[in-house]
A = this chain, B = another copy of it.
Amino acid sequence: MPIVDFWFEFASSYTYMAAMRVEAAAAERNVGIRWRPFLLGPIFASQGWNTSPFNLWPARGKYMWRDIARACAEYDLPFKRPPEFPQNSLIAARLALIGVTEGWVVPFAKAVYNAEFGEGRDISRLDSLGAILGSLGLDAASLLTRARTDDAIKSRLKASTEEAQSLGIFGSPSFVTEDNELFWGNDRLERALIWARQEA
């Protein structure tokens, strides 16, 4: 089965839709998905930006919120614009890396995105993340401590982000096939899967 790496940044609004759609779309085409958390902040910073281009470029940002509201209606996904954007996704991304190793990244990532963009909640808060972990039957206190203090996890997230940048990734969601073909954006999900299938 061909594998596509799904690179996701929790602060990204368009990635909410991709995260909710990727499993069914991949299963339909018999493609495997590897969930790859990373941070866009350091990639934006190397470009000289201190926030999302949606904030630096107001007309683009205004359009983004409208475009996402329309697309969520089309996909039948709940949508509530969170009061703050982008949200600090550092702890959520470290937790997701633990989830990759321990096998719960998919329900965790989907629950985080749903809280953030389906319910408009603040996923930078430890209590929000703890509630999500608890709802998945996980030991929230222990996981949050590891996510805040474990040097190995911190290093893994840095390495993942550097790997993303070296692959040419500049935004989220990004999809990378085994032959290193990059597809960017929720609306490129299907093309990435078709590419992976054709090259397999």
- A residues near B (Cβ < 8 Å) are 43, 47, 57, 59-60, 62-63, 66-67, 70, 165, 168-171, 182-184, 187-188, 191
Contact = CB atoms under 8 A, between A and B. Distances in A.
A171 B165 CA distance: 25
A180 to B, nearest CB: 11
8 contacts: A59-B170, A60-B170, A62-B168, A63-B170, A63-B184, A67-B183, A67-B188, A70-B191
A182 B60 contact: no
Contact of A57 (B59, B63, B170): B170
A187 B187 contact: yes
A57 B52 CA distance: 13
Tell me how many chains of this kind the complex includes.
Answer: 2
A62 B171 CA distance: 13
Contacts of A66: 182
A85 B70 CA distance: 32
A59 B168 contact: yes
A59 to B, nearest CB: 4
Nearest 8 CB-CB pairings of A with B: A59-B170, A60-B170, A187-B187, A59-B168, A63-B184, A63-B182, A62-B168, A47-B57
B59 A169 contact: yes
A66 B188 CA distance: 13
B187 A60 contact: no
A165 to B, nearest CB: 8
Contacts of A170: 57, 59-60, 63
